[in-house]
Amino acid sequence: MEEGYTSLPTSHLLGSVPAVIAEEKPSAGASQSLPANLQVFPPGNGGYIPPESPLGGEEQAANNWKGFCSLSSYTPYFNVDTDVVVDRIISSVYPMDEFSRKIDGSPDLYGPVWISATLVFMLAALGNYGTYLIRKRSEPNGDWEFDVSYVDWAACVVFGYAVAVPAAFYFLLQYFGLNANLVRLWCMWGYSLFVFIPASLFLVVPSEIFRWIIIILAGSASSWFVYLNLKVSTEGSDTRPLVVSALVLQFALALFIKIFFFS
């Protein structure tokens, strides 16, 4: 079986150290040659724009874009450890200013994806459980059946919101001339949904007043989180209607969750 390897074209190089050939990516222009502190042009729609002082690792991330279908081009966005994710989740619940600093270096997509998935499951499961409790209170011998359409609705609403709204804001911010990073927006909106997970646990209690209080609290916390972080990202005053509309949208999502799943 060893014979196969001697027919490779580099077999004559065995034992010698091959010369390092500096590879220049021709498409990125002249700024490519100095790796240290220049902005690298984003390689595509979901490209990662490093902040003003990029670390060495982020240069690698931007240069490793191999296209939309290659898995390795998405790996930099999942480069987080358990404690990092837990830390970000905790700081998303308290709408203080620290979250932006935490994701400054490396926004991750792990949080948004799995927080959204958990929220879908929670809404579908607990929404059904809520209707079960209400049905048992009103007619103890009535029959209740599991409504599968809750799963479909939850999936469409949560994933649609988490994907489409940050993308829309990305395009709007670009239109207004502000430099926005799509992955950061996705990350931030994804983590903002975390508050609804414990809220949906409380929403099971079959008391209308209690449910409204809970959802107003959760909606306010989440909207305030989005507002603060968006303000940090934009830093401009004439995008105020944009930021306010983000706040309103988040609150609308909270109301929709209450009205559709828990009433």
Partner 1 sequence: MSHSDTIPLHPSSQSDIDEIENLINADVHSVTVLPARPPSPPRVSIPISHSPSPLPPYQKVPPSASPPPVVPAVPAAAAAPAGSSRIGISSDAFGSPPDTLTEPVWDTVKRDLARIVSNLKLVVFPNPYREDPGRALRDWDLWGPFFFIVFLGLTLSWSASAKKSEVFAVAFAILAAGAIILTLNVLLLGGHIIFFQSLSLLGYCLFPLAIGALICMLEGNVIIKIVVVSITLAWSCWAAYPFMSAAVNPRRKALALYPVFLMYISVAFFIIAID
Interface with partner 1 (CB under 8 A): 1, 71, 74-75, 77-83, 85, 110, 113-114, 117-118, 121, 125, 128-129, 143, 145-146, 148-149, 151-152
Q: Which is nearer to partner 1, 104 or 152 (CB)?
A: 152
User: Minimal distance in Å, beta carbon 151 to partner 1?
Assistant: 5
Cα gap 117→234, rounded to integer Å: 28
CB of 75 to partner 1, least distance (A): 6
Q: Which is nearer to partner 1, 68 or 146 (CB)?
A: 146
Contacts of 69 (CB under 8 A, 6+ apart): none
**Alpha helices of the chain — where are they, by DSSP H?**
3-6, 56-63, 82-93, 98-102, 110-138, 149-175, 182-192, 196-202, 208-234, 240-261
Pick 72 or 179: Cβ nearer partner 1: 72
User: Nearest distance from residue 110's CB to partner 1, in Å?
Assistant: 6
**Whole-number minimum distance, CB 80 to partner 1, in Å?**
7
Query: Residue 44 to residues 40, 53, 70, 260: CA-CA distances in angstroms?
Result: 11, 21, 13, 37
Q: In terms of Cα–Cα distance, which of 117, 121, 124, 180 is closest to 150?
A: 124
Least distance CB 163 / partner 1 (angstroms): 15
Enter the tokens of residue 95.
């709408």
CB atoms near residue 145 (< 10 Å)? 9
Nearer to partner 1, 124 or 195 (CB): 124
Closer CB to partner 1, 37 or 79, in the complex = 79
Provide the minimum distance between the beta carbon of 108 and partner 1 in the complex, in angstroms, as a whole number: 10
Measured CA to CA, the distance from residue 247 to residue 220 in angstroms comes to: 9
- Are 195 and 91 in contact by the 8 Å Cβ rule? The answer is no
Q: Which is nearer to partner 1, 8 or 244 (CB)?
A: 8
